[in-house]
Amino acid sequence: MAFPADRPRRLRTSPAMRRLVRETRTDPAQLVLPMFVAEGIDEPQPISSMPGVVQHSRASAREAVAEAVSLGLGGVMLFGVPEHKDATGSGALDPDGILNVAIADARDVAGDDLLVMSDLCLDEFTDHGHCGVLDDAGRVDNDATLEIYGAMGVAQAAAGAHLVGPSGMMDGQVGVVRAALDAASHQDVAILAYAAKYASAFYGPFREAVDSSLQGDRRTYQQDPANAREALRETLLDVAEGADIVMVKPAMGYLDLIALVREHVTIPVAAYNVSGEYSMVEAAAAQGWIDRERAIDETVTSIRRAGADIVLTYWAAEVARRA
């Protein structure tokens, strides 16, 4: 019988061969570890819906940042969990507020050996849980929120952030933050823009992680999961406003969006492997339904293969240890 001249299986014959021809690789420097730092706690507090992830105390956060440096991670993305909230999220601007002191702690530990990134959004700080301030009708006031975002960006830069991450999906947020940073002589602080952030069901465990006070939902400002062209429009607006990196969030259900964005921009593309995606794998693995390590590696590889230069993932440290 005739045999095919081209036998692709030759390139799969052994682990060494598969390593040699592997098309997509993940270096620890391409991974960012999201971290939650809580006010008023002395020990890390487990997050029940995210096994293995904690709300850090300031001390344990410093230790985690030091480990991230030693592992060669690209960065940490910091979220603050304050004890007190109000209607305007005033804690976000307080130099002694939990997020700003966590940024300062991280920068003190890491110096310039690791990028300290900070979430620039009001949802952790408002008593209503929305990403901006509300008007008299209870709607998120886009332009009033932008004023606070500008001041928040300056506060985070002053605390030591290398990159700030506007994540509230307010129209014009990148341009306002860029202008505020430049006016305050923080021209070197970069913007990681949450350019295509969807109103996703996969954020559920994150709400526990930040003790969310959300009332209602965020569908009037986060993207409709059904829309792709709109996401590209949002992304290109952020690029035009001065974004240094653009991000798609979530990642696993939006690999097509990562690929679309990668095709249309020349700046780095990030993707956020979010809490619900993490927890699904952990829950299935705990039941013995899937091979945990293989599922983690396959998840991160798929995000990289789709076109993400940078992956934010709660598995960042674990993946780096096994790299």
Q: What per-residue confidence (pLDDT) applies to 323?
A: 85
The answer to whether position 161 is within a domain reads: yes
The answer to whether position 304 is within a domain reads: yes
The answer to whether position 4 is within a domain reads: no
The answer to whether position 207 is within a domain reads: yes
Active-site hit among 197, 218, 262, 304? 197
Q: What per-residue confidence (pLDDT) applies to 1?
A: 64
Host domain of residue 310: 25-321
The answer to whether position 71 is within a domain reads: yes
Q: What per-residue confidence (pLDDT) applies to 4?
A: 73
Q: Report how far Cα 162 is from the mean position of its chain's Cα atoms.
A: 14
CATH of the domain at 153: 3.20.20.70
Active-site hit among 85, 249, 262, 304? 249
CA dihedral 302, 51, 218, 233 (to 10 degrees): -20
The answer to whether position 311 is within a domain reads: yes
- The structural domain count of the chain equals 1
Q: What is the 3-state secondary structure (H, E, C) of the chain?
A: CCCCCCCHHHHHCCHHHHHHHCCCCCCHHHEEEEEEEECCCCCCEECCCCCCCEEECHHHHHHHHHHHHHHCCCEEEEEEECCCCECCCHHHCCCCCHHHHHHHHHHHHHCCCCEEEEEECCCCCECCCCCCCECCCCCECHHHHHHHHHHHHHHHHHHCCCEEEECCCCCCHHHHHHHHHHHCCCCCCEEEEEEEEECCHHHHHHHHHCCCCCCCCCCCCCECCCCCHHHHHHHHHHHHHCCCEEEEECCHHHHHHHHHHHHHCCCCEEEEECHHHHHHHHHHHHCCCCCHHHHHHHHHHHHHHHCCCEEEECCHHHHHHCC
**Stretches in the chain below the pLDDT threshold 70:** 1-2
Whether the bond into 250 is cis, omega within 30 of 0? yes
Active site residue 85: no
The answer to whether position 187 is within a domain reads: yes
The answer to whether position 84 is within a domain reads: yes
Instruction: Provide the whole-model pTM.
Output: 0.96
Q: What per-residue confidence (pLDDT) applies to 133?
A: 96
Q: What per-residue confidence (pLDDT) applies to 5?
A: 75
